[in-house]
Amino acid sequence: MTETSYLSDCYKYNNSINKWQSIKPMSTPRVDFSFVSLDSKLYAIGGLNDYGALNSVETYNKTTNTWKPVSSMNLPRFVFSAAIVNNSIYVCGGYNGTNNLKSCEYYSSNQDKWFNTTSMTIERQGLSMVLHDGFIYAIGGYIINNTDTTNNNYTNLVEKFDTKSKQWSPNTANMQLSRQNPGSVSFRGKLYVCGGEGTNGDEKSCETYDPKTNKWSTIASMNDKRSNFNLLVNDNNLYALGSSVLRFIDTAELYDYIEDKWVYTTLKVPLKNPYGV
C-alpha cells in the first residue's frame, strides 16, 4: 500500500472487549469524506479517489453488515463537513478539485433526496461543523485565493446557521487559533475544538466556545498533535482518536474535564485516515 492508496476498510470498536473488529468494507474506496450516523445507519458521503471528487453516498446497515448506495449529493466535494439535524444531513463547503466551495445542501432520509440550502458567506475547505442547540457552527478551514495563491490562509472564522430560518449569522466570535481539519464536538454545553493544521503544522491545542457568552477559552492541549482525526463523545467521555494528514499516529486520548488534562488510553486506531462516529 502506498501513501496515496484509497481505502474502503471499516472497523467497529467493541467496548466490552476493548478491541476493534472488522466489518464489511465500503463499496467505494474514498478519502477526505464525511462519515455520520442517522437513524441507526452510517453514511459515507463524498470524498476523493482515483476518479476525482465524489458526490456518491452509501449507507451501512449494522444489522445486515451491508452497504448500499443512496441518492448522490448535488455537487461532488471532499475535505468538507457534515452535521445531523433531525432526520437530515447537512453538508457545507469543501473542495471540488478546482475551487473551494461555500455551497450547502441537505439530505432528507425520508425522501432519499438532496436539497440545496443557503450557502456560507465564504468559500472554504477543511472546515468542521457541529450542531448545538439548533444551530450549526461552521468552524475554521482553509481559504484559497484563486487570483493570488500567496494569500491562501488558514482561518479562525466561525459562522452560525439557524436551522429554522435557514440563514447564516457572521456574528459568532472567531476561534483564538486559525486551523483546518480540526476535531470538533458539542460536549457538556459547549463546543470543543482541538488539533487541526495551522501555519506551524499539526496542532495539539484545544479551545472551547460558550454560546451563552459568545467567547472562546483555552483548555489543556492534547498530548499528541492531530489533524484530520476523530474527536467524539462516547459514554459521556470525550476522546481524540488517530491523526492522518502530516503524519499517522494510532494513539487515543481521553479528556479529563475535572482535572483539565488529556490521558492516553490503551485503545489503538487501526487505520490511516480514520473517519468515525
Is 224 inside any structural domain? yes
Is 276 inside any structural domain? no
Give residue for cell 436539497: 115
Residue 3: which pLDDT band, with cuts at 50, 70 and 90? very low
Distance CA 125, CA 102 (A): 9
Residue 6: what pLDDT?
Answer: 86
Is 214 inside any structural domain? yes
Under a CB-based contact definition with an 8 Å cutoff, are residues 79 and 125 in contact?
yes
CA 156 to mean position of chain CA atoms: 16
Give residue for cell 460558550: 210
Residue 2: what pLDDT?
Answer: 39
Is 228 inside any structural domain? yes
Best-predicted range by mean pLDDT (138-147, 165-174, 262-271): 165-174
CATH number at residue 247: 2.120.10.80
Higher-scoring residue by pLDDT: 243, 154: 154
Q: What angle do CA 62, 65, 70 make, to 5 degrees?
A: 80
Is 199 inside any structural domain? yes
Domain containing 229 equals: 10-264
Residue 152: what pLDDT?
Answer: 66
Cell output for 115 = 436539497
Evaluate if residue 162 carries a pLDDT over 60: yes
Is 2 inside any structural domain? no
Buried residues in 241-277 as b, exposed as e (16+ CB within 10 A): bbbbbeeebebbbbbebeeeebeeeebebbbbbbbbe
Under a CB-based contact definition with an 8 Å cutoff, are residues 93 and 80 in contact?
yes
**DSSP tag of 30:** -
pLDDT > 90 in the chain, percent? 78
Distance CA 42, CA 62 (A): 8
- 150 phi and psi angles, rounded to 5 deg: -70, -15
- What is the tens place of the pLDDT at every residue in 145-161? 765 555 569 999 999 99
Distance CA 249, CA 62 (A): 27
* Tally of domains in the chain: 1
Under a CB-based contact definition with an 8 Å cutoff, are residues 189 and 217 in contact?
no
> Residues near 51 by Cβ (< 8 Å), separated by ≥ 6?
none
Cell output for 232 = 467524539
- What is the tens place of the pLDDT at every residue in 84-99? 999 999 999 999 999 9
Is 114 inside any structural domain? yes
Distance CA 150, CA 134 (A): 37
Is 72 inside any structural domain? yes
- The CB-based long-range contact list for 236-244 (8 Å cut-off, 24+ gap) reads 238/185, 238/187, 238/192, 239/265, 239/267, 240/183, 240/194, 240/195, 241/267, 241/269, 241/274, 241/276, 242/269, 242/271, 242/274, 243/195, 243/202, 244/272, 244/273, 244/274
